[in-house]
Structure 1
């Protein structure tokens, strides 16, 4: 079995690796699809010893995996898994250190989530990090949304960024708050016009194309003008302090800022002066991944209108990776592994 690594600096030649043995109490999975995206070094969390990539999930070899259960260990405890089941794998520590591989071993069965027939394996490769973080944010703000709607009759939300996270948020906010869906209004703000067009097709009522050369206060004013009756909630799931600060500036007094846990900007002192409240969303868990899978399976709209993605052969991975560094691809990149061409990254 070959090993192939991606590099920001150069292309690396494949190396041979043995097919891993089936764990006594776990499973071996034949990888079919793997999510791939890129995060600039300036915003990345530090590398973890013994692992390849960045722990926040944007660039991490083997972080978003879907495939087929190929073998189950003889000592595995009873579960709902059988050989041949389509699954997504939650990126637990023992999984992410293996990198992308034709075969992946998972020792804890709870980290393997069975996919229903309504979710393709390609979509399954978008769920373990991006989709799960978006689901976590939606769960975190659900009660607050209901309270704001009860008090004001509506809730206007600005989502910062127009990538895959924003696209997940648009659909999940609607599906997870169906009782008040018509009173939740969403605007998406970004300098990515292609991403904004996708956001519009997924249900965003307003899209705001931002010019990054403008002063921050000018951009904040543009965001506030998205809704005549103000902005009650802003969601910024990207690890970018500038976007968080921009979200703070556009919010009404007493508004709510939704960010991932542990990523609150140092500029949040500005928010305290405006009487803002922070809703910190956990980065995700296998339980939230299971909730996401159920939400998609039960929501016909999300099955038909999931975030846009494009599948590429694993042989073209370095080219795709290079393009992502240049931000020249707007769809989520999914790598397809061929059973006849074993590769490990």
Structure 2
């Protein structure tokens, strides 16, 4: 029996849920929705399907249903499914976590640099999720290690990006948050330091993003829109510092490396972003003193200069908008201060 299936997701996203839509065949006999889904999703168990339905991950004709709902020909089914990152069994580790907010449903953290969000190849320990697992075990020793990554992680930020990230503490919260991320209604503002003087005070970058066709660990912008996924970044200048600019970036979509790729596409690679060439001196003078100054800035902020400053979302239980802000981490702040000092004493036209 044929089923129309549309999967709306690709790997180049920092959001960890995909949306699958089904249209039930005209010849379909009445069947419980949980059994029908189990038959059409590879590897799905009856228990997991029922958990997802109870949590609101599934709708039929736009409405949430129960597991005993019997499907009918022509039913439109929408299912949010978890994209399982490449990690092994999660292990709890006592790690320093900067918890900004916590209640029975959500956990908001301010991630430090050089911390991977979830375990994967080469990073099986020391991840944010390992630390969160240990933290939650202190509250509930019976928590299932398979439940946390499935219902906890709804988005991620890069290893060397600092700032705010939210995790769900139960299935209901995960369903609610994942839909917000998928529908791009979550408020996310980042602060970045980029090479060069950004000409316009504000603007919008609209360019598809996909894996780089030659270097598979990198991503690239494709403005024609024939390759990759739709991506939009709004930017505004916060401060101009001669050969670098401090900018605020607001994400309208959430693709992997989106700000890094979009700003490079604009001609302003992020400062000290070694994956995209920002660890080289891309703007400035030929003088030795200037080169030494930049090297000192690299030492102060030995990573991509990007911080997830603001995060706002509708709380899954209260249905109220809650917003969080975090200060710039010391490494970025000290580097910016150093550029401010340089700018006071040097004008670009004097050394160009």
TM-score normalised by structure 2 residue count = 0.29
Greater relative contact order: 1 or 2 (C-alpha under 8 angstroms, separation 6 or more)? 1
Which of the pair is proportionally richer in strand?
A: 2
Bigger Rg, structure 1 or 2: 2
